[in-house]
Structure 1
């Protein structure tokens, strides 16, 4: 743990998928002006930072993750002046702004790639990963694309293949080239100079590939429903040791500025994930911990995952937790709406920085997408496997009016059918709603330092229960979650006095607690020990 707490340690981060948050100009697509219109909502909710998914110029083959210019704004979202205005207004409300940064690959329409593919002897000929064909004329090796098929695309002009970890329209940069590193660091510096508070670094574990281009081994756990892209283990095209040298350069740049940070998107087992904290202040501030997204909603599994993660963290590593994002099914659809309150309590009371995905505070669910409405290239390339990300990217449900308050135009993705009752305006009127539970939990983190930055200690509560203590400077808080639909009695042992600080029902606050505590089905509580 760092000696001095930073804003990103005790804060709550809120992810905004800009196409879907708020349409400010009436074209059916969210934009920067729309985000500005809703800053007061975010301030009311109490979040400390907003992370904005990519807003750069892009052909939108992968909706902004195919960047054609790293130092400008796509006209769909506005202008640099609009961004500066948003940044200023967020800062005025005490909120930080984290910008998505996509360094692994560019668009095939980026000027760098246009120059690189033009010939084998121009100044940027080795800015991307080019290889001669195999002896049979096919791809250089067996590496696969995460979006299906080979990771190699033949280019007739150069007479070579280029590597793309994702779409063929997203060629991977050659991060072994110091000139590429310098150019990308310059792009980061451009945004830091404008006042951006940090970056979420896209697929950061992909940046360096094996220098010998060795073949990836078979995945022994593969089955067809996983998608073709998981037929092989990504042993040689991800998580290479040299990536940490690249991250160290990024960290060195951020450390030239005050109070800046970076989050790394890393889908790896915990023992590999924690290596991205680096040593000697040279790593990512927060390597994203996605365990709760991928595992079954079971208290024993969750308890084990928490303990293993806490044990694996290096002394300087600060934990973080995520329940949802733009690449995964919504939490309400994964675990069922009746358990969304438990999810809120878990996310906002575990030790570490929580990241909240827009709309999860409302209980938004995946929205069914018919074949003719599909936008996501992942679903188009591998249909029928349930891998499509459109269902979790539907427009934010603001009110029960036209377009759910998101837009008066036809939205780029369909709205959830439940928006007339599941919307921010309606839930804000109901003091017992899920939205008010999120708000109260976020504000409790401000009031009780034990919740935000206190120590974590497991508490044995029962087979369908999860319990843990959060403690700091004389504060002792017990968090209990009942994962069962039936009522359960919890024996508090020596914890003989206290009161309920918060229940997920929002109807038991202040209730005294003695040696036992009755929890309703799917109820969670925070008990303040020794409080009267």
Structure 2
């Protein structure tokens, strides 16, 4: 097998509820995605990753699956899904599905049957426990519901496990029958022509809840190897796992082809650059660019010759990239372009979250009634119980609420940003008249044009696909500077994460400017004063 397709492609994540509504019900849908394939083809992406579109009661916006082999009616039908796969292929775009394998909805037939019959075939698909001294077996807590992660089933007088909400019931991966039921479902989607999967909280599949070991259980990698062999192992598909616990060394274990597990994982070390490690989610601190560099560079060096990196700034669970790592005000365009150039110059597969390519920003709210995110609402109640005033609690939520990433896509300046003709399920960001696809694409120096150029550069140049990474250390802290080398080709990526100018001495005289977010880079100079949020790729050889 030659080079996998995903090593030269860029993946675009779609949050279907918020991408494009085709029928006026205020919820994005599959036909809406089909209507925007020309746009995605123009951008140049090689694949789209869909957040869940399976049948679900939406306790967590689809991350609570009630049927893995059915489409939620709010998104359309299985015929619409088949049409999307076919239409995307005609546009040169593959479809990657989201797999939620840590838990199902409490409305999934597996769990419904398990509750109804303690001796039934699906009972051991889930984690059950007898009471211990009349109580739950231990003090594990639920992330989304608050309180105990154990729920008593009145009929059987046994507890079941739910590490997220009470409607998201944890699966028991120690059950061979469960594992093989999952593999049959994966093969169902492969037969339909999907090109890969993103695996939600993959590091939790080997959990040992009675020992309170929730990630990196002793058989995790055995399960992933078994899954690989039973499903996608002989196919050229992309598999990426979400693993919040993973270090760069862990990333190598997951993604080394010799281990026959996954193509890559999402490794989140760089996201602690503005957070207090081990602290509560709302405990933020000023961005430390040195820490950000160290985390991203560690992934580059650890996976230099084996394994593969995923590259991302944001997703459906994270704040908007330009609001978090750039500057959402005066320098929004320059800083959004800088972030794109910094990330897409690295070795790995880049992921673009919908709206990132036009610099969409966070969307603060002034009342908890405007918050949809189940996690944020739970944390709000906890903050009030701890003594925060409502305004103080909302200030914290506005920094991390997952709703920031989930506001509808801003297509144009029409009502509801062209997302829907009805009432949107989540309010559109009020800045949509100024920040939208139609406006951004009018300028040749737009954020969209920068992403388009970066995607084309990666597709056409082996130096970005497979080139060796080398850090330049003799640079000021706000500066990312590194080279990518392939054969006789050497490109330098140099970017300024600050709002102040900074002087950088280049290691060699550039021979050619490849890409810049300023129009007047002084080509050929060995010493460069990088302006606020300036970013460039130059050829050294």
- Could you say whether these structures have the same fold, taking a TM-score greater than 0.5 normalized by the shorter chain as the test? yes
* 1:484 and 2:498 are equivalent in the alignment: yes
2:530 alignment partner, one of 499, 503, 519: 519
Q: Once the 2 structures are TM-superposed, how far is the Cα of residue 372 of structure 1 from its aligned partner?
A: 1.5
| Residue in 2 that maps onto 1:342 | 338
| Residue in 2 that maps onto 1:280 | 258
1:368-396 CA distance string (max 9 Å, x none): 23322222211222213525311220000
1:314-338 CA distance string (max 9 Å, x none): 8430112110001111112212223
TM-score by length of 1: 0.91
1:11/1:48 contact within 8 Å kept: yes
* 1:326 and 2:316 are equivalent in the alignment: yes
1:292/1:321 contact within 8 Å kept: no
| Residue in 1 that maps onto 2:283 | none
1:131-184 CA distance string (max 9 Å, x none): 01120x221112121212211111101101100111111111111111001111
Give the distance between the partners of 2:490 and 2:53, measured in 1 at CA. 43
2:304/2:468 contact within 8 Å kept: no
Q: Once the 2 structures are TM-superposed, how far is the Cα of residue 129 of structure 1 from its aligned partner?
A: 0.3
* 1:316 and 2:306 are equivalent in the alignment: yes
Q: Once the 2 structures are TM-superposed, how far is the Cα of residue 196 of structure 1 from its aligned partner?
A: 0.4
1:398 alignment partner, one of 384, 394, 411: 411
1:259-285 CA distance string (max 9 Å, x none): 112110110141334332267242211
1:418-466 CA distance string (max 9 Å, x none): 1011000110001112121111111122232212321111123421322
| Residue in 1 that maps onto 2:208 | 210
1:282-319 CA distance string (max 9 Å, x none): 22111112233332344322332233223333843011
Secondary structure, counterpart of 1:414 in structure 2: coil
TM-score by length of 2: 0.89
Q: Considering only aligned residues, what root-mean-square deviation do their CA atoms show, in Å? A: 1.8
* 1:455 and 2:455 are equivalent in the alignment: no
Q: How does 1:5-20 map to 2 (within 5 A)?
A: 5-20=3-18
* 1:474 and 2:474 are equivalent in the alignment: no
| Residue in 2 that maps onto 1:431 | 444
2:108 alignment partner, one of 102, 110, 114: 110
| Residue in 2 that maps onto 1:500 | 513
Range with greater deviation from structure 2 (262-271 or 446-455): 446-455
Give the distance between the partners of 1:6 and 1:481, measured in 2 at CA. 29
1:375 alignment partner, one of 369, 372, 376: 372
* 1:34 and 2:46 are equivalent in the alignment: no
* 1:263 and 2:253 are equivalent in the alignment: no
1:78-128 CA distance string (max 9 Å, x none): 111101111111111111110001111111011110111123222222111
Q: Provide structure 1 residue ranges, at least 5 long, that are not aligned to the other structure.
A: 217-235
1:247 alignment partner, one of 224, 229, 235: 224
1:213-265 CA distance string (max 9 Å, x none): 12x4xxxxxxxxxxxxxxxxxxx122102011111122113445531121101
Q: How does 1:46-61 map to 2 (within 5 A)?
A: 46-61=44-59
Secondary structure, counterpart of 2:124 in structure 1: coil
Secondary structure, counterpart of 2:490 in structure 1: strand
Secondary structure, counterpart of 1:429 in structure 2: coil
Q: Once the 2 structures are TM-superposed, how far is the Cα of residue 191 of structure 1 from its aligned partner?
A: 0.4
Range with greater deviation from structure 2 (156-165 or 252-261): 252-261
1:467/1:481 contact within 8 Å kept: yes
| Residue in 2 that maps onto 1:174 | 172
1:195 alignment partner, one of 155, 172, 193: 193
Range with greater deviation from structure 2 (288-297 or 471-480): 288-297
1:290/1:323 contact within 8 Å kept: no
Range with greater deviation from structure 2 (184-193 or 293-302): 293-302
Number of positions where the alignment pairs a residue of Structure 1 with one of Structure 2 = 503
| Residue in 2 that maps onto 1:97 | 95
Give the distance between the partners of 2:512 and 2:420, measured in 1 at CA. 45
Give the distance between the partners of 2:470 and 2:61, measured in 1 at CA. 42
Give the distance between the partners of 1:479 and 1:330, measured in 2 at CA. 23
2:463/2:485 contact within 8 Å kept: yes
1:442 alignment partner, one of 431, 455, 477: 455
Give the distance between the partners of 1:110 and 1:479, measured in 2 at CA. 49
Q: Provide structure 2 residue ranges, at least 5 long, that are not aligned to the other structure.
A: 275-286, 381-392
